[in-house]
Amino acid sequence: MQQSDQATLGGRTALRVAFAVNAGFAIAEMVAGLAANSIALVADATHNGADVLTILIGLVALRMVEAPPSHERTYGLRRMDALAAIVNAAIIAMAGAVLAYEAIDRLLQPRPLGGLPVLLMALGGVAVNGGVALILARTSRELLAARSVFINLVADTSISAATAVAGVVLLAGGPPRIDAVVGLLVVVALAITVWGLLRDTLNVLLEATPRHVDLHRLEEEIGTLDGVTSAHDVHVWTIGAGLTALSAHVEVADIRTADAVVACVGALARQRFGIAHSTVQVTTDGAGGHDDLCTPPCEPAASPLGQQ
């Protein structure tokens, strides 16, 4: 689990930086908006405050992920990563819905906009959100909570970049509706991205095979290992927070090779498929999965309660 633990630690560090930068930017923008009596700046500061909330949720989730396993929760709280991603996806979806409503409203009822203030505000958003998104780029590949924050920041960067383009068009005397059109395009891109995040998160919760693992190929390669005659009941799933697990039933010709086979299956899964945790059942040909092979010594002791 060392690799997934390192990913969690790196994710927390990146999220701390993202939290500090975005919180500072949101506060500064709110102060500037109130001082200038600008509803646009206040609204954008509020939106950036939502970004800070998603980052905070990600930080709390990754902290909980590090909780040690117990008898009640044998894998600890690693699924908190996926649950945080769902909460953040809901926040992103609500922000997208608000943005879509505002864009449609401005498309139907165009409002005069100042090109220079729009451009300056948008460039600031590109610098802050884009810079923090780059910090989270690597971590987002392994941790769903970090990916949900990353998607939100990329969406905000896209919105700011699109707004900057709209600002340039407005400065050149273009129609005010360009702002609304760009906003709707961003909403479409945001919806596609959020759907990808939800799909991956639901796959984790449903214990689906991770997308990076070819299960048929894995089963075939296990079957070609020395001493292995067949492999079946192969299952691969994501426990959470970057930890992928494998369970498999492997049949061998000679039970004396069991330890070597278990070691080889674990090494194959880890090195070729990125699976950190493997559980392998080894039996001789034809002996696996037959309850009739269980002799009386295998039976559990009778419960004292059952004898009363």
**Do 102 and 196 lie in a common domain?**
yes
Q: Is the pLDDT of residue 291 over 70?
A: no
CA pair distance 306, 146, nearest whole angstrom = 51
pLDDT band at 15 (very low <50, low <70, confident <90, very high): confident
**Do 196 and 261 lie in a common domain?**
no
Structure tokens at 180: 């609304």
- Strands, E, within the chain: which ranges? 228-240, 243-252, 277-284
**pLDDT of res. 101:** 82
Q: Indicate the residue type of 172.
A: A
Mean pLDDT of the chain: 79
**Do 115 and 246 lie in a common domain?**
no
Looking at the DSSP assignment, which residues form a beta bridge with residue 228?
252
Query: Does a structural domain hold residue 163?
Result: yes
Which range has highest mean pLDDT (12-16, 133-137, 261-265)? 261-265
Strands of the 277-284 sheet, one edge to the other: 228-240, 243-252, 277-284
CA pair distance 252, 250, nearest whole angstrom = 7
Mean local confidence (pLDDT), 129-148: 79
Q: Is the pLDDT of residue 166 over 90?
A: no
**pLDDT of res. 63:** 84
**pLDDT of res. 229:** 93
**pLDDT of res. 112:** 65
**pLDDT of res. 146:** 80
Give CA angle at 129 (104, 54), nearest 5°. Answer: 80
**pLDDT of res. 115:** 59
Q: Which tens digit of pLDDT belongs to each residue from 75-133?
A: 888 888 888 888 888 887 887 787 788 778 878 887 666 556 667 777 888 888 888 88
The CATH number that applies at residue 7 is 1.20.1510.10
**pLDDT of res. 48:** 75
CA pair distance 230, 218, nearest whole angstrom = 12
**Do 173 and 221 lie in a common domain?**
no
**pLDDT of res. 127:** 87
CA pair distance 86, 118, nearest whole angstrom = 32
**Do 167 and 24 lie in a common domain?**
yes
Query: Does a structural domain hold residue 304?
Result: no
H or E segment to which residue 97 belongs: helix 80-108
Query: Does a structural domain hold residue 272?
Result: yes
Q: Is the pLDDT of residue 155 over 70?
A: yes
**pLDDT of res. 263:** 95
**Do 193 and 259 lie in a common domain?**
no
**pLDDT of res. 275:** 94
Structure tokens at 21: 């930068």
Give CA angle at 213 (80, 253), nearest 5°. Answer: 115
pLDDT band at 159 (very low <50, low <70, confident <90, very high): confident
**Do 269 and 187 lie in a common domain?**
no
Residue 121 Ramachandran class (φ > 0 left, ψ -120 to 50 alpha, else beta):
alpha
The CATH number that applies at residue 230 is 3.30.70.1350
**Do 223 and 159 lie in a common domain?**
no
pLDDT band at 279 (very low <50, low <70, confident <90, very high): very high
Q: Is the pLDDT of residue 62 over 90?
A: no
Give CA angle at 201 (199, 205), nearest 5°. Answer: 115
**Do 200 and 158 lie in a common domain?**
yes
The three-state secondary structure class of 105 is helix
Query: Does a structural domain hold residue 36?
Result: yes
Phi first, then psi: give them for residue 57, nearest 5 degrees: -60, -40
Instruction: Report the number of distinct structural domains present in the chain.
Output: 2
Centre a 10 Å sphere on the Cβ of residue 216 and count the other Cβ atoms it contains: 8
**pLDDT of res. 300:** 53
Phi first, then psi: give them for residue 68, nearest 5 degrees: -70, 155
The CA–CA distances, whole Å, from 8 to 51, 139, 141, 144, 197 equal 20, 8, 12, 11, 18
Query: Does a structural domain hold residue 181?
Result: yes
Q: Which tens digit of pLDDT belongs to each residue from 227-277?
A: 999 999 999 999 887 789 999 999 999 999 999 999 999 999 999 999 989
pLDDT band at 303 (very low <50, low <70, confident <90, very high): very low
Structure tokens at 226: 């020395």
Give the domain range for residue 234. 215-288
More confident residue, 1 or 51: 51
Short-list 176, 178, 122, 147, CA closest to 61:
147
The domain boundary, picked from 187, 205, 223, lies at: 205
**Do 113 and 230 lie in a common domain?**
no
More confident residue, 74 or 287: 74
pTM metric for this prediction = 0.69
Q: Give me the percent of the chain exceeding a pLDDT of 70.
A: 81
**Do 34 and 126 lie in a common domain?**
yes
Report residue 221 CA to chain centroid gap.
29
